[in-house]
Amino acid sequence: MTDKGIKHLTDDNFSKEIEQGVTLVDFHANWCAPCRMLAPLLEQVAKEVKGAKVAKIDIDSEQKTASHFQITSVPTLILFKNGKEVNRLLGLRNVEAIKEFIQAVM
């Protein structure tokens, strides 16, 4: 399922979705106010950054993946390249910071 250019991930499809190319994954929770503030910024990033996917995964409903990546605070943005974690950002960031974060590995 996609929502304004953002793919929604689950424990079941996570590995397949990140295995090729550059993917930014937002580990979030519905109860998290900064996560809700980040959502429209990620939609903008998804539109503006070509050559990278933007995805999100709910840490409450997809606990296996959240546990695997040791997510202890949200929002956490993890950048994957060909299935491997290359970097992560914690907390709310602006659009330019997120775009620079992605472009650093492209």
Q: What angle do CA 19, 11, 100 make, to 5 degrees?
A: 50
Beta strand ranges found along 1-106 (DSSP E): 2-3, 6-8, 22-28, 52-58, 76-81, 84-90
Asked whether 30 and 60 are in contact (CB, 8 A), the reply is yes
Decide: 43 and 6 in contact? Cβ < 8 Å.
Answer: yes
Q: Which residues are designated catalytic?
A: 32, 35
